[in-house]
Structures are given as structure tokens and as C-alpha cells.
Amino acid sequence: MENFKNNKIIKKIGFNRVVLIGVLILMYFAFALVCSIMGKASFINYQRILSLLNYSYFLGFLALGVTFVIATGGIDFSIGTVMFCAALVGGQLLTKSGLPVILCLLICVAVGVIFGMLNGFMVAYMGLPSFISSMASMMLSKGIGSVFTKTQSVSWPQATADDGWYRSLVKVTVGGVTIPTGLIFLIIVAIICSMILNKTKAGRYILCLGSNKEAVRLSGVNVKKWECLAYVICGTLAGIAAIVFVGAYSTVQPGLGDTYNNDAIASCVMGGTSMSGGLASIGGAFIGVMIISLLQEGILAMGFQKDWQYVITGIIVIIAVYADVRSRKRRN
């Protein structure tokens, strides 16, 4: 075991992440096994994987974003509803006001950025506790989304429509074969995020202030700016998540989206990002997203109610956070 842990490649990837990948693979085959025992349709086929990936795209962007916020020691409960708000606002302008697609996509991102700025301002500059202020912006984004669309759901154009080109961000069909371009998109953004977090000044300060904000402040660093930035990054990614969400699912309903917060937070925590800040892993969040997506796909495939997913995610988060609390205690 020790040998395994000290192996160079394992060390490079991180032991926890190797375990997570193991869990992911195990889960996949467990679902396959259970499905075949239960006499359900086979779990191992390309369509399943595509459907699983569809779920992972928007969740992935949400999780990447919230990783930055959790790294500062905060939390953002508004990401899911902000994503929906962005998709609703963008979609309404596209379908009802006839704005060009590209502009609407940008508007999606802009909505995310604005909410990110709002959250960042409340936490970093006004000093409000992040969990409650972000819940307030959860309410705001929910309300604005439904007010903007007059409580109607909005459908973005299908792939075959003239304006449907944006869907190639998520998948492209060439000669009858569907290529999940969304995965490439997600991986590219994940790599960028990982570089921001680990290689730039912004990332360095975000992680450090999550660990000991006062020490960073007393080093003459503008902690407010960097803390705020984490929320802006998070909001931006929630805006991008809106694009891949409609790219995968087309229709957005007002008043929803808050359950995705939990999925995203669960993905991060599972991936080794500590709720108390200072410690974050983009790679871990990515694997966490895959696990959650697989979980929801598996639950559907076995014919269970989707609600089981909430229960299981809840339990997963408890275990992950408890493990984090324990390991911190042991270190001190």
C-alpha cells in the first residue's frame, strides 16, 4: 500500500484522485451488473455514455466555478439558479426578441458575470457570510429568471434549425456518429481553470486567503479584490454552464436549478476540495462531476426515481466533509 502511494505517477496524480477514478470505474461496472440482473436495458452502450456526458457538461462548469469559491473558504449556493437565469434570459432574447445567437450566448455569460460580481461584492466588500448572501442571490436569480420570461419555459433552437450551430459546442454528428465535443470543451476549460488556480497570481492568492486571509492581508495583498474575483470566476462559469445546458437539453424552466448547486458542491468536496478553504483540486472536481453524472444515469437506468440522487448526494457530502474535518483535526 505504502509502495503504491509512493509510486511516482500516483503521487503526481494524487492518491485520492486515483482512488476516485477507481470508484468511478467500479461504479460503472456495478451499474452495468445491476442493470443486467434487473433485466433492464444494457448499461454499456454509447447512448448511455452520451447521456451521462450531457449531464456532466453543465455540472462540470458549475463545479469548476464553485471550486474557486470554496477555495477561498466561502460557498456559492446560487450557481444552479444563476445558470438557469442566464439560460432563460438568453433564450427569451433569442426566441422572442430575435437577437442573434452569438449575442445571446454572450448575454448568458454576462448574466453569470453580473451575479458573480454581486456575490463577490457582498462577501468580499460588505463582509456578509457567503452561504446566506449567496442564498439571497439564489432567490434573486430564480425570481429574475421567471419574471423575465413571465414564468414561461424557454426552448432554445434544435440542432437542425438555422440558429442551432451553437449546439456543436456540445456535440457534433458526423456521418451518423455523435462526437461529444462538449467533453473537449469541458476538458479545455478545466485545464485553463487548473492553470489559473495553480500557476497564476490570482489562484495563488485565492488559495492562500482561503487558508489564512488575515496573513495575506497583512502581506499587503488586496484580499478583497482576489476574493471577489473567485466569485466572478464562479459566476462566469455558471454563465458558460447555461450555454452547454441548453446545448444539451434545449428547454429551460423558470423556478428550478437549485438542486444543481448541491450536485456541483458535492462534486468538489468529493474531489478533495476542502470546505474550510485553502485546498482545492480542479482534477478532483472533474472526476467528482463524472461520478455524480454516472450516479444519476445509473439511477435512471435502474428505473429508480431521480430523487434518490438527492439523498445519495447528501450522504456523500456528509461523508466527504466529515473526512475533511477529521483530517484537519489530525494535522493540527
Partner 1 sequence: MENKEKKGNAFTNNPIVKAVGAQKIVVLLAVILLYVVFFVMSSSFRQYTTLVSLLDSSYYIGFMAIGVTFCLITGGVDLSIGTGMICYALMGAFCIVKLGMPVGVGMLICVVAGIIFGFFNGFLVAILNLPPFIATLCTMMITRGLGSIFTGGLSIAWPSSSTPQGWFRTIFKINTSGVLLPIGIVFLVLAVVIMSLVLNKTRPGRYIIAIGSNKEALRLSGVNVVKWQWLAYVISGFFTGLAAIAYAGVLSSSVAPGSGAGLELNAIGAAIIGGTSMNGGSGTVVGTLLGVLIMSLLNIGLPNIGLQANWQQIITGLVLILAISLDVFKNKKLARA
Partner 2 sequence: MGEVILTMKGIDKSFPGVHALDHVDLEIRKGEVHALMGENGAGKSTLMKVLTGIYSMDEGSITYEGKQVTFTNPREAQAAGIVIVHQELNMMNHLTVAQNIFIGREMMSGKLINDSKMNKEAIKLFQKLNIDINPNDKMGDLTVGKQQMCEIAKAISHEAKVIIFDEPSAALTETEIEELFKIIRDLRDQGLGIVYISHRMDEIKVITDRVTVMRDGGYVGTLITKDSTKDDIINMMVGRVIYEDPKTESNVAPDAPVVLKVEHLNAGKMVRDVSFELHKGEILGFSGLMGAGRTETARALFGADPKDGGDIYINGTKVDIKTPMDAVKAGIGYLSEDRKRFGIVVAKTVAENSTMANLDNFTSGLFINKKKENQIAQRYVEELKTKTPTVDTEVVNLSGGNQQKVVIAKWLVRNCDILIFDEPTRGIDVGAKSEIYHLMNELVAEGKSIIMISSEMTEVLRMSDRIVVMCEGKKTGEIDIAEATQENIMHAATLRD
What is the spatial distance between Cα 155 and Cα 146, in angstroms, rounded to a whole number? 14
Which amino acid is present at 257? G
- How far from chain centre, in Å, is Cα 153? 23
Which amino acid is present at 173? T
Q: Which helix (H) or strand (E) holds 281?
A: none
HSE-CB at 174 with a 13 A cutoff on CA atoms is 6
Closer CB to partner 2, 181 or 211, in the complex: 211
Q: Does 204 bind partner 2 (CB under 8 A)?
A: yes
Closer CB to partner 2, 197 or 285, in the complex: 197
* Interface with partner 2 in residues 220-239 (CB under 8 A): 220-222
Closer CB to partner 2, 329 or 331, in the complex: 331
Q: Does 178 bind partner 2 (CB under 8 A)?
A: no
What is the spatial distance between Cα 272 and Cα 219, in angstroms, rounded to a whole number? 28
Q: How far is CA 236 from CA 79, 152, 171, 214, in A?
A: 10, 25, 22, 27
Beta bridge partners of 177: 174
Least Å distance, CB 13 to partner 2, is 18
Interface residue with partner 1 among 13, 32, 34, 136 (CB under 8 A) is 136
What is the spatial distance between Cα 143 and Cα 160, in angstroms, rounded to a whole number? 32
Q: Would you list the DSSP string of 38-68? A: TTPSPS-SHHHHHHHHHHHHHHHHHHHHHHH
- Please count the residues of this chain forming the interface with partner 2, following the rule CB under 8 A: 22
What's the DSSP call for residue 256? -
* Interface with partner 1 in residues 171-230 (CB under 8 A): none
Task: Please choose, out of 49-57, 183-191, 217-225, 290-298, the segment that lies near partner 2 by the rule CB under 8 A.
Answer: 217-225
* Interface with partner 1 in residues 256-295 (CB under 8 A): 258-259, 262, 265, 275-276
Least Å distance, CB 43 to partner 2, is 41
**If contact means CB under 5 to 8 A according to the sort of partner, which of partner 2, partner 1, none does residue 251 touch?**
none
Interface residue with partner 1 among 69, 82, 89, 135 (CB under 8 A) is 135
Interface residue with partner 2 among 40, 199, 306, 326 (CB under 8 A) is 199
Q: Which residues bind partner 2 (CB under 8 A)?
A: 195, 199-201, 204-205, 207-208, 211-212, 214-222, 278-279, 331
